[in-house]
C-alpha cells in the first residue's frame, strides 16, 4: 500500500511510528500544493496546524494559522 492511498490523523502515532509521521508529512505537502484556492477554509487551516503540531513543526503551525 502506498501512503498516498490512505488518510491519516496522526495523533500520538507520529511519536512512535516513523511511517505514520512520513505519511502525515506527505499529506500536508499534498494539501499545501493542491488545495490552495479557498480563502475561507479556517477549519481546514486549524486541522493543518494541529497536524504540524503533532509533527513538532512550529513554523508549519504558524504558517497554517496566519491566514486566519
Judged against a pLDDT cut of 80, whether residue 53 lies above it is answered with yes
pLDDT of residue 1: 46
How many CA within 13 A on the CB side of residue 5? 2
Question: What rounded mean pLDDT belongs to the chain?
Answer: 79
Q: What is the pLDDT of residues 33-46, one digit of tens each?
A: 877 666 666 777 88
CB 64 within 8 A of CB 49: yes
Judged against a pLDDT cut of 90, whether residue 2 lies above it is answered with no
- Average confidence (pLDDT) over 11-26: 84
Contacts of 3-10 with CB under 8 Å at 24 or more apart are 3/27, 4/30, 9/51, 10/51, 10/54, 10/55
Q: In angstroms, rounded to a whole number, what is the distance separating the alpha carbons of residues 26 and 31? A: 8
pLDDT of residue 16: 84
CB 31 within 8 A of CB 50: no
Amino acid at each position: 500500500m502506498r501512503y498516498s492511498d490512505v488518510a491519516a490523523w496522526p495523533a500520538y502515532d507520529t511519536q512512535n511510528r516513523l511511517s505514520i509521521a512520513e505519511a502525515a508529512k506527505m499529506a500536508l505537502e499534498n494539501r499545501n500544493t493542491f488545495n490552495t484556492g479557498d480563502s475561507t477554509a479556517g477549519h481546514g487551516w486549524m486541522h493543518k496546524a494541529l497536524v504540524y503540531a503533532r509533527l513538532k513543526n512550529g513554523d508549519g503551525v504558524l504558517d497554517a494559522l496566519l491566514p486566519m
